[in-house]
Structure 1
Amino acid sequence: MRNAKWVWQRSDWPNFQYEEVDFTETCGGFTAVASRLAGRIEALAEIPRQEITVDLMVSEAIKTMEIEGERLDRESVVNSIAALMGFLPGKGLAWDKKAEGVARLMTDVRQHWNQPLTHNLLFAWQQAVVPESYLYNINRGAYRDDEMQIVSGGVGHYKVHYEAPPPDRVEVEMDHFIDWYNATQGRLPGPVRAGVAHLWFEVIHPFDDGNGRVGRAIADQALSQDLGFPTLGCLATAIEQNKKAYYQELANASRGDGNIQPWLDFFTKMAVDAQQIALKQVDFILDKARFFGRFSGKLNARQQKTFDVVFRRGPD
């Protein structure tokens, strides 16, 4: 379709155009920082390693929800992730279903990073992050059966930012996407494959709700499969810090001519940033442990509480 408004309406869809060689340096940087991060964590004793793993997963869980405008109680997410990972005995699942759901998503992506992508796996991820609601009729654990538009503005004055493929095309589109995703494992650099997969999934927008969270989980899985171990990079944090540019690049690629070079340039650099953010977080946690070790028994209750509040804000 020569005058297609959306990229999925083009006659050559989904034939994305990009030059893989242009991302060689960025992808090499991703692998180097990710390996340094993994080495830093592996060198720790078991308990500190578990604590840092939980801390990074919790930060990502909170950020992936913040991108969607959802705020979670940190302690609820900590309890759920620690329980699901089998760490920190005594912790239990949170009463907050949203916290428990995103914890299940983060844990499943980490524990089953090398399994093939399937419709049922995507259904489980979406069902986890979209709690049952008696106020809205949302398909959970299934693809949407209605039209999907992303709009802003009031009734009669709304603006359509994006329109996804019609519902009768969703399953076929997802078949094609999943086949490509599984076939390209080990054949494309991780950040490139993750960037294409994330964009492709978001263009299809197959669910009534939860597309962003599931799409970021797919990208995390693709990066893990490239590394050969589950990534602890903070992709959602990197996206949240560049949210305006992220949505603009997605919009440009969704309306474009199939050339996704600018999108991949943005996304692959963000994948590197995600590893660097995690590395900075690990260094911060280790510095915090050293600080409290140095002043153990020397702080009164008020001082201890004050430092707890300060350190809870993170590296920034």
Structure 2
Amino acid sequence: MWIWQRPDWPTFSFDMDRLAAPVAEYRCRAGQLAGTVARLTVADRQEALVDLLVSEAIKTSAIEGEPLDRVSVRSSIKAHIGLAPPATASSDPRADGIAALMVSVREHFMRPLDAALLGAWQTMVIPPRPSHATQWGAYRRGDAPMLIVSGYIGKQRLHYEAPPSTRVPQEMDRFLDWYQATRPVDGKDPLPGPLRAAIAHLWFESIHPFDDGNGRVGRAIADHAIAQDLGYPPLSCLATCIEADKRSYYAHLESTQREDLRIDAWLAWFVATVLKSQEVARAQVDLVVAKTRWFDRYRDRLNERQHKVAARMFAAGPAGFEGGMTAGKYVGITGCSKATATRDLAALVEMGALTSLPGGGRSARYVLPCVAP
């Protein structure tokens, strides 16, 4: 029996007291992160925002098996938030669409959710294709069941079956009424942000109202709920953290949709992921500050090749450049000879701009001192 087939659907139950401590921790971390961001320069704040939105856009698409080009997503993010001319947005509709969604969630975080807004978000992430029968901006229709399956044809595994399309309008009306009623400030039954985000995501994914794009829109709803709770759109990495533990995400979602309406395990996992996302966001902000200080210190001593490689290494994020920088990678990034790459890297180490990892010789690897290898 699926969760929506339960006679008491959608009356979710959970122990609020068990979640009091992590919710309190979430609020504490949110305040600390907001304070850190407020102390950044305008340029650093903008860079941190762009970096995090790019990561979120790429990762929420990757969860659905859709790889995107980072440069394309970044150009569209900057165009949509007004840091670059609109004409510089990517020509890839997938990259531009997910960028538009990321920015729309931030711009409309205080707007009540309704069918029109959700439909607009769905059209952003699912570009129209003439040969595709997807409903754009409208709930799914037709008699075909909405099945979530994996595997090859003939060996497919059924993970979930959503309510039939005839029930979707009624189910969504009930969901949207609940979402409005649980608003943190003026709702009649307010819920803490992480819990509201977790329930909203589970509920929306269980209805699966659109032909396509439900996962990305569902994660956008979670971000919307967090922003409404805080009163501002925070620097967030929720999709980034979900993608990093995608198997656990799907396992918790599937098990919850197959069980009764007691959702303590789902809430505990989701709130823990929100806390993790705050850690990742803090690390990204710290990296932006470190990057500014690094370039302030070394910029005038770098040649064009070294500057390009350093920028690429910082772009890898707080986790650092995978495997460290090597002479071979340096050649691939700059197009110089291996001898030149070796000299450039040695000069960076000598001035303290890079650190050499243990090993040396032909397998010498280098990292930024301010980024953990």
TM bracket (short chain): over 0.9
The equivalent of 1:184 in structure 2 is: 182
Q: Answer yes or no: is 1:67 the counterpart of 2:63.
A: yes
The equivalent of 2:335 in structure 1 is: none
Alignment of 1:271-286 (within 5 A): 271-286=274-289
User: 2:44, 2:288 within 8 Å by CA — same for their partners in 1?
Assistant: no
Superposed displacement of residue 259, structure 1: 0.6
User: Which of 193, 196, 208 lines up with 1:193 in the alignment?
Assistant: 196
Alignment-mate amino acid for residue 155 of structure 1 = I
Q: Distance in 2 between matches of 1:169 and 1:91?
A: 42
User: Which of 117, 137, 153 lines up with 1:121 in the alignment?
Assistant: 117
Q: 5+ unaligned residues in a row in structure 1: which ranges?
A: none
Alignment of 1:103-252 (within 5 A): 103-146=99-142, 147-186=145-184, 187-252=190-255
Residues 1:153 and 1:76: Cα distance change in structure 2 (over 3 Å): closer
Higher relative contact order (CA 8 A, sep 6+): 1
Superposed displacement of residue 188, structure 1: 0.6
Q: Distance in 2 between matches of 1:67 and 1:73?
A: 15
Q: Distance in 1 between matches of 2:70 and 2:270?
A: 27
User: 2:47, 2:288 within 8 Å by CA — same for their partners in 1?
Assistant: no
Alignment-mate amino acid for residue 85 of structure 1 = I
Q: 5+ unaligned residues in a row in structure 2: which ranges?
A: 185-189, 320-373
User: 2:105, 2:224 within 8 Å by CA — same for their partners in 1?
Assistant: yes
User: Which of 78, 82, 86 lines up with 2:78 in the alignment?
Assistant: 82
User: 2:77, 2:103 within 8 Å by CA — same for their partners in 1?
Assistant: yes
Q: Distance in 2 between matches of 1:82 and 1:138?
A: 29
User: What is the TM-score normalised by the length of structure 1?
Assistant: 0.96
For 1:14, what is the secondary structure of its paired residue?
A: coil
User: What is the TM-score normalised by the length of structure 2?
Assistant: 0.81
For 1:160, what is the secondary structure of its paired residue?
A: strand
Superposed displacement of residue 308, structure 1: 2.1
User: 1:34, 1:233 within 8 Å by CA — same for their partners in 2?
Assistant: no
Q: Distance in 2 between matches of 1:12 and 1:90?
A: 49
Which string of whole-angstrom CA distances, capped at 9 and with x for unpartnered residues, describes residues 131-174 of structure 1?
Answer: 11134211110111142001123333322111000000000000
Alignment-mate amino acid for residue 52 of structure 1 = A
The equivalent of 1:296 in structure 2 is: 299
Q: How many positions carry a matched residue from both structures?
A: 312
Q: Distance in 2 between matches of 1:255 and 1:83?
A: 42
User: 2:193, 2:230 within 8 Å by CA — same for their partners in 1?
Assistant: yes
RMSD: 1.3
Superposed displacement of residue 306, structure 1: 2.2
Greater Rg over alpha carbons, structure: 2
Superposed displacement of residue 291, structure 1: 0.6
